[in-house]
Structure 1
Amino acid sequence: MKIFYTVLLIIFIFFSSSAQFTTKTGLYFSSHETVQDYRTSLKISPDKRLDLEKGMTLSFDISFRPGDGDYGYVVRIIGDEGVHLDLVTHTTSYSTNFWLVNQDSTLFSLGWKDLKDIHYDQWVGVKINIDPLREEVSLTFHDWEQKKKLPQIKGISHPTIVFGAQREPNLVSTDVAPMTLRHIRIADHAGKILRHWELSKHVENLVYDEISGAAAEVLNPVWKIDDHVKWQQVGHLNKKNIVGVCTDDLNNRVFIIGRDTLSIYEINSKQTVSIPYQQGKPYNCRSNTFIYDPLNDHIINYNFDTDAHNVLDIQTGVWSLPGGNCNQLPAYWHHNKAIMDNTLVTFGGYGYYTYKNILLQSSLTDPRWQKMEAKGLIEPRYLSAWGEDTKEGNWYIFGGYGSKSGSQQISPRHYLDLHRFDPKSRTLEKVWNTTIEKRKSKVPASSLVPSENHDGFYALLFDNSQYHTHLQLAKIRKDISEVNFYQDSIPYTFLDTDSWSTLYLNESSQELIALTHHGDEIKLFSQAFPPMLPADIHQDIVSPFHWKERALWLTGILALFIILALVFKRKSKIPLPLHEGLPVSEVKAVVPPRSGGFYFLGGFLVFDSTGKDITSEFTPTLKLLFLLIYFYSARSGKGINSTQLTEYVWPEKTDNSARNNRNVNIRKLRLLLEKTGNVEVKNDNTYWKIVLPDNVFSDYEHLYGLADQVKSFKDNLNDQGLAEFLHYAGQGELCPSVQTEWIDKYKVDLSNRIIDELSVLLEAIPWEKANYPLMAQIASSILKHDVLNEEALQIKCTALYLMGKKGIAKHCYDKFCTEYKNSMGSDFPMKFKSLLKVYS
């Protein structure tokens, strides 16, 4: 067994530097594990532009899962005059598992045995071909294929296609196959792909095909790509007499070391194995002095009071020493630890009113504690994080809480700085320091995880000044003093003498795993890797034109609109934008100009004058420089002075060095901005400012301009300005990936303005059936900027409920309750039915 783990570790190290991480895709269908109201349905109603009278092919990828019920619908193709084809599955039947049914007769049937080594959790390609000219239907499952004559198949020319739960009139069924789908395609009789739904990026209950932008409606969706945005709890353990916790990152195991028993929790299988100690016991210390040794499959228990390591052989349950209590209170609370070249190395910690900054080392073969002499210093601290960049072989230390002198009595503070440690040369050097600690009290969980492209690390940060706090994922860059936070968070109960948390990457499952330990309770959470922001998974409406073609069309349309406006001198009336279930017959989507444009709402995007996306050309430094100058210019018109720029962008540089860096990067920024339409960076008496010319678009400035017109929108709910205002207000937070102190005032000002104006609109709209979709949309936009706005929740849920979308209304309520619990630490006090009583 030891040889096995050694080989496995070597393989893991060999591949870790070149591991490829993929984005999860697909629509997970809630099946028999949930009640009928919450089972998933996907409905595709191809428009009449599709010419399918000569035939069609429906194809998709599907995977099945065990344990969530057996029987259910995969898809139903509904034609004219009651004609329909049903693909049904019974995954645990002994002989036959899949049927294609026409009305009351079975056309084809097959079992797992026909699929040649394909089984649960594997993607299978499925095709259903309808050929009305030959009066023939065929079914393909992986490499299994059969055809059959069916004269009445001519009745399927403009089908409605429903996956999962069936809610069509006279064809109702809530039996949903336990499945996940991706890449749904519709092809014509010649095999040309006309529609393609990837089922990856999406809006809340809609997903658009990649060819024409055709919408498919989803009820109770579970999008796999959302796993990159949200944390999921994957384990909850309560164990008495816990002495310490450590993790096996390679095999996704958590070791809970008790006084008499080792408990091993397998995250993948959610199973716990208990191993009573056969000989010896662990040290009964309070500072979690345990670390897993993957080369030998041992748990090492070290004690700073003695030079003897207590080693547990996991296979036999035998400790190398009898154990016992520590001699005194810990001197190194919340230190960092790692095994480097067969040596246990620790850094920092706190004890006896003193913060530490020393590196200690203890060989696994000769465990005498020694101070590791290193060039360079880090200010004393505890509650810091560290991790190795396996690509370069260096270790990085981030953040913590301590003081320059080491004394708890003399100006303790939060550190959000980054240091590099080269274990070969034993050199410590500061990489950067950020001023974010002026805004929030933040310390990291104990570990750093290298980013997918090794440009930085991921860490979990929390407020250690609160007992009921939250862990929030952040990305720490190596090349710039920037800490960017992700949206979701994890509840965490923190008391520094009784709590511990860590983060690690399980490469086999491509997941980040977060562990929290408080008292007798251990919780585990997972998030798909790499993490994403909500803006990264939002799907824009796809146009059938390429960008260059789109730019020409938009230019022509804009020119025509200007001419008509000059001739008729009147406002153009444009229907409301497509959003949140507004009736399709009454809407026309707002298409923002992309050529020469800056987009800040919901994410940062830049397009040059030809419509090309040049966002990636903004390096972290250029992006920060641009955003600082732009926002300081946009609201006050004055700009930002050179001293402020230096403080935010180059805080560690001398005046001369900062000036040189500023001049070089300003030149780079000017060249880049010229591509967008001759945007200039000006310097006026030491103040830097950016002013956009009329031909360059900014959604931020455009939205402020629209907000000034809200009064006129109240009098005309079909005005173009209202359509645009709702579109941009619904995009979400300003630059959500930028979480630094200076930008907060712009985020708060914009969100407050949007909420105020949307609230004015809501008050002016009467509770009438025709207005329900509009009210739901406005309330949804408010919740984008204030996730805990109870009034907006009430209006949105009530409007959806009265529209007949009861499942969606309940889903919105449940989502709000989860956010409320995570933020406030208590349950939302109003029940769903009580929420609806005011208007229903």
Structure 2
Amino acid sequence: MRRNEINLISAVFAFFLIFCCQKAAAQYGLEFASHERELDKRTSLSIGEKEAVTLFPKTELSFDLQFKPYQHDYFGYIFRIILNDKLNIDLIYDRRPGIGNHFKLVVGDKFTDIAFNIPGEQLFYKWNPIKLVMDKDKNQLIFTCQGKTYHYSVMLNGFNKFQTFFGLSNYKQFQSSDLPPMRIKDLRIKDGQHLEHHWKLDQATGLQAEDAVGKIKGGVSNPFWIKRQRQEWRMENDYEVSGQANVTFDPKRECVYVVSEDSLVRTFLGSRSSNSWAYQNAPLHIADGSQSLFDPHLGQVHCISIDQKIVSTFDTLSRSWSKPFTYPSRGTNYLSFNKFYSPQDSSIYMVGGYGHFHYQNSVHKYHVPTQQWDSLAYTGDRLFPHYLGALGFCDGKVYLLGGYGSNTGDQMLNPRISNDLMQMDLFGGKFKKINEITFPDQNAVWASSLAVGPGQQLFGLMFPKNKFKSSLQLVSVSLDGQELQELGSMIPFDFHDIKSFADLFYSPASNRYVAVTLYFDSESNKSRVRIYSLLAPAMRYELDESSATSGTKKWVWYASGAVSIAACFILLLQFKGRRRQEDEKEKHVSPFPSVSEEPQQLPIAEATVTIPAKEEICSEDKKSAIYLFRGDIQIINAHGDEITKQFSPLLKELFSLFVVYTIYRGRGISSEKLVELFWSDKSSASANNNRSVNIAKINSLLESVGDVKISKKSGYWCLDGSEQICIDFAEYMKILQQEEKLDRVSLSKLLRILDKGSFLFETDYEWLDVIKDEISIHTTTILNETLRGLALSTDAEFIVEIANRIFHFDSVHEEAMVYKCKALVQLGYHSLAHQCFENFCQVYQQLYGESYGKSYREII
């Protein structure tokens, strides 16, 4: 993959940060999907499957190993070495308790006496070198790990070649599907002391492992590249809790605590499940404007209300809170305040906030041992009255960044965005303005916390204040405020200042950032919790070409916005092992950190109903068309003839990319990105020639379509003249970008577009995966919200149609199934309703390996 000068500097700088912090964090490598995934979604790395590797007189195979923490099952094969398709040498992990050593070497069908353990802290958080020498002269295996060397005698003279399989293996009679949740990197094969092959596994995408020394490419299925995990946020968990919720984080144990109305929920990073403590006393009616904070000294969770001057602490033994809040509360004066715990004086400090048309710049202190409150006066530079700013605390220094407020604190008097970076001298009683950071978009506000990560830089989550369907962008800020850099992909975030909350944490144990978003639905009285993680040091998702030349830092807002993620769809994503592909950061984009395969279509029985007020997709004067919601791309010329078959596979993929990026990204794709996707293995001149030749071929084929062509505008290749033809995807985007609630006509048109299926559901391009998922999520969210606003008595037919469209995207969408069954019963289709339920249960069983938890009578 080509990198420009800035990318090289960024990579060196990231390495320097980690070196300074002396972290053994995973910089690159391959992570394996294991027991948490279906059998055909687990990860495999094969070396020599097509062309066997030579077994030298003294062959050394080595690699670095690490296990993923907080997984349920670690049993399985780490590697299988197959000699001449006859003899297997296996390294397995036996998770059974009480057996002593868990790592075991197997030869043939016998356990050898080579067995050992790796301490948990070393196994989960550091790289562990593993080395196996196959010595044909001595007919001996020599195994080295943890500074210890083991020997085992075995006849090797008759063998001259071998294959190696890490994780899942489908090779001949040596098949195995059990593997531990692990990570590996730097796989090497030596002939004596001479390095013959080296698979670094340092790439971010792809289904082949590159051999840096030899010519044998490794085959990879269902990969989770670690470098990709430094670019894309991973969804760790997604669930709902009762009532309004607060969130905090324990960095030592790497767990997120969510305070809800009836329980305290704990989620360990890396674990798909959560556990909770149901309250023994009365429900906790969380006060307006309250927040939670983890006390590292006491190991307890505090819930804080500045208005009521209450800090309530949860006792996990008694499952109760120390103090109740006054309920109902009378609003708050401190919405979205910032807080931190100071170990130097065992106190909680709280800064800023908003309420009753007034912005705060006050500082409050709560001394935990004595439970005493105090209001503090600070001198120095004046702190701008605000809320929605970010605060970070490290080594006794406090940093505050941004926010929204006014000079006087009065909401009526010229409220504005603040870009001040301030330092708070905690015990000196002064504020100092470090710098003022100017962003091109003046609507930038922040998630609550600044994380101080590797290199003593500040890391925060920024988002636009003026959008509901918003998105969070991780940025790094130097301590002097001179440098700012966007890192990683975007996180979807529904922003409403009194209903939503976002926070950022840093976990030094596993060297990753943790982002949590909350959204309270007052109608259902539930809060949706979404937890994401990103490995550090985070990498830029992609640089704009202009950034490479000017060196300026650009904050790019995404006009299409980010979208909420439906709960059932995220459950489905847990079983999908497709890798995420790098996505370009452009304006009018809504990238998300989740990638999946096209969902399996649910065989729901259809009822014959009519879509109310059907609308044609485009006006009648547009004869030429491009369809993207009919499986594969379909191209219709001005005479009504389909010309898709005239496009070669490469031209069709290129044209699909131009169409999608033009409409979805808003301005096309850069030359650098094109080369990276299609011609990264060629020289610059050759890549440019290939690009020019193929674009010319596409434009020649488009002559029969009309006045459309691929051209370059403002440095980006796009489909010029797209407004002259009918493109269902363009009409789809117009509908979903409407700020107002969709009316019945727009909804009917949307259903018409989705009539044949989901977006490009028969198309499998790596660059398309993320976009397909975003569209699926956005569409499912819109349609599900629509379902909730319809009445069974009058809208039953419309409900069935909407549910059918949801099933195009999510075959186990429980709410859509319930609505459809009830609507079919309302229409008198009782057998179809029952068949719908049975089909749902069947697919649910296939996906999750367990029966659906409700009966037909219960959902009806």
TM-score (norm 2): 0.57
Change beyond 3 A, Cα 1:271–1:99: same
- Which residue of the partner structure matches residue 286 of structure 1? 288
- Which residue of the partner structure matches residue 500 of structure 2? 499
Q: Retained in 2: the 8 A contact 1:115–1:144?
A: no
State how 1:27-66 maps to structure 2 within 5 Å.
27-45=30-48, 54-63=57-66
Distance 1:155 1:808 in 2: 42
Distance 1:790 1:139 in 2: 60
- Which residue of the partner structure matches residue 248 of structure 1? 250
Distance 2:42 2:234 in 1: 19
Distance 2:298 2:56 in 1: 67
Q: Deviations over 1:295-345 (max 9, x none)?
A: 334544444445565455454445554532265221121111233434443
2:531 to 509, 513, 524: 524
Give the number of the structure with larger relative contact order, counting CA–CA contacts within 8 Å between residues 6 or more apart: 2
Distance 1:222 1:453 in 2: 26
- Which residue of the partner structure matches residue 378 of structure 2? 373
SS where residue 325 of structure 1 aligns?
coil
- Which residue of the partner structure matches residue 467 of structure 1? 468
Change beyond 3 A, Cα 1:250–1:146: closer
State how 1:794-813 maps to structure 2 within 5 Å.
809=764
Total equivalences in the alignment: 579
Deviation at 1:470, TM superposition (A): 1.6
Within the alignment, does 1:412 sit opposite 2:415 as a pair?
yes
SS where residue 453 of structure 1 aligns?
helix
**Structure 1 residues without counterparts, runs of 5 or longer:** 1-15, 536-598, 606-621, 628-712, 718-724, 734-751, 767-780, 792-805, 834-840
Q: Retained in 2: the 8 A contact 1:247–1:254?
A: yes
Distance 2:690 2:326 in 1: 62
Q: Retained in 1: the 8 A contact 2:470–2:492?
A: yes
Within the alignment, does 1:401 sit opposite 2:401 as a pair?
no
Change beyond 3 A, Cα 1:273–1:86: same
Deviates more, 1:338-347 or 1:210-219: 210-219
Q: C-alpha root-mean-square deviation of aligned residues, in Å?
A: 4.9
Distance 1:754 1:469 in 2: 38
- Which residue of the partner structure matches residue 434 of structure 2? 431
SS where residue 380 of structure 2 aligns?
coil
Deviation at 1:492, TM superposition (A): 1.6
Distance 2:23 2:78 in 1: 32
- Which residue of the partner structure matches residue 800 of structure 1? none
Q: Deviations over 1:88-110 (max 9, x none)?
A: 64735779975555xxx547635
- Which residue of the partner structure matches residue 509 of structure 1? 510
Distance 1:515 1:72 in 2: 34
Q: Retained in 1: the 8 A contact 2:489–2:541?
A: no
SS where residue 496 of structure 1 aligns?
coil
What code does the residue aligned with 2:519 have? H
SS where residue 229 of structure 2 aligns?
helix
Within the alignment, does 1:477 sit opposite 2:478 as a pair?
yes
Deviation at 1:165, TM superposition (A): 4.2
What code does the residue aligned with 2:155 have? L
What code does the residue aligned with 2:415 have? P
Deviation at 1:285, TM superposition (A): 1.7
SS where residue 392 of structure 2 aligns?
strand
Distance 1:756 1:243 in 2: 54
Within the alignment, does 1:388 sit opposite 2:343 as a pair?
no
2:675 to 730, 745, 750: 730
- Which residue of the partner structure matches residue 75 of structure 1? 80
State how 1:269-308 maps to structure 2 within 5 Å.
270-278=273-281, 284-307=286-309
1:359 to 357, 360, 363: 363
Q: Retained in 2: the 8 A contact 1:108–1:146?
A: no
- Which residue of the partner structure matches residue 345 of structure 1? 349
Distance 1:732 1:462 in 2: 29
Choose 1 or 2 for highest CA Rg.
1
State how 1:601-620 maps to structure 2 within 5 Å.
none
Deviation at 1:387, TM superposition (A): 0.9
SS where residue 417 of structure 2 aligns?
strand
Deviation at 1:460, TM superposition (A): 0.9
What code does the residue aligned with 2:773 have? T
Deviation at 1:259, TM superposition (A): 4.7
Deviation at 1:407, TM superposition (A): 2.8
Q: Deviations over 1:97-155 (max 9, x none)?
A: 75555xxx54763575x558789758665444444556x35252534633445365343
Q: Retained in 1: the 8 A contact 2:307–2:333?
A: no
Q: Retained in 2: the 8 A contact 1:220–1:807?
A: no
Distance 2:310 2:50 in 1: 75
SS where residue 818 of structure 1 aligns?
helix
What code does the residue aligned with 2:223 have? P
Deviates more, 1:243-252 or 1:498-507: 243-252
Deviates more, 1:49-58 or 1:468-477: 49-58
Deviates more, 1:806-815 or 1:394-403: 806-815
- Which residue of the partner structure matches residue 706 of structure 2? none
SS where residue 242 of structure 2 aligns?
coil
Distance 2:347 2:106 in 1: 62
Deviation at 1:187, TM superposition (A): 0.9
Distance 1:52 1:243 in 2: 60
Deviation at 1:207, TM superposition (A): 3.3
SS where residue 57 of structure 1 aligns?
strand
Q: Retained in 1: the 8 A contact 2:780–2:809?
A: no
- Which residue of the partner structure matches residue 630 of structure 1? none
Distance 1:426 1:757 in 2: 67
- Which residue of the partner structure matches residue 25 of structure 2? 23
Q: Deviations over 1:158-202 (max 9, x none)?
A: x5544344456x5673635334322211111x3222322232345
Change beyond 3 A, Cα 1:405–1:30: same
Distance 1:440 1:53 in 2: 64
Identity of aligned residues (%): 20
Distance 1:277 1:33 in 2: 33
SS where residue 226 of structure 1 aligns?
helix
1:153 to 142, 145, 158: 158
SS where residue 353 of structure 2 aligns?
strand
- Which residue of the partner structure matches residue 645 of structure 1? none
- Which residue of the partner structure matches residue 138 of structure 1? 141
Distance 2:173 2:291 in 1: 62
What code does the residue aligned with 1:488 have? S
Distance 1:32 1:246 in 2: 29
State how 1:819-838 maps to structure 2 within 5 Å.
819-820=774-775
Distance 2:493 2:673 in 1: 35
Q: Retained in 1: the 8 A contact 2:422–2:432?
A: yes
Q: Retained in 1: the 8 A contact 2:140–2:154?
A: yes
Change beyond 3 A, Cα 1:196–1:433: same
Q: Deviations over 1:479-504 (max 9, x none)?
A: 34443212312222221111111111
Distance 2:269 2:332 in 1: 30
SS where residue 730 of structure 1 aligns?
helix
SS where residue 239 of structure 1 aligns?
strand
Distance 1:465 1:753 in 2: 44
TM-score (norm 1): 0.58
Distance 2:118 2:489 in 1: 41
Q: Retained in 1: the 8 A contact 2:259–2:265?
A: yes
Distance 2:226 2:168 in 1: 19
SS where residue 58 of structure 1 aligns?
strand
Change beyond 3 A, Cα 1:447–1:602: same
Q: Retained in 1: the 8 A contact 2:204–2:227?
A: no
What code does the residue aligned with 1:384 have? G
Deviation at 1:401, TM superposition (A): 1.4
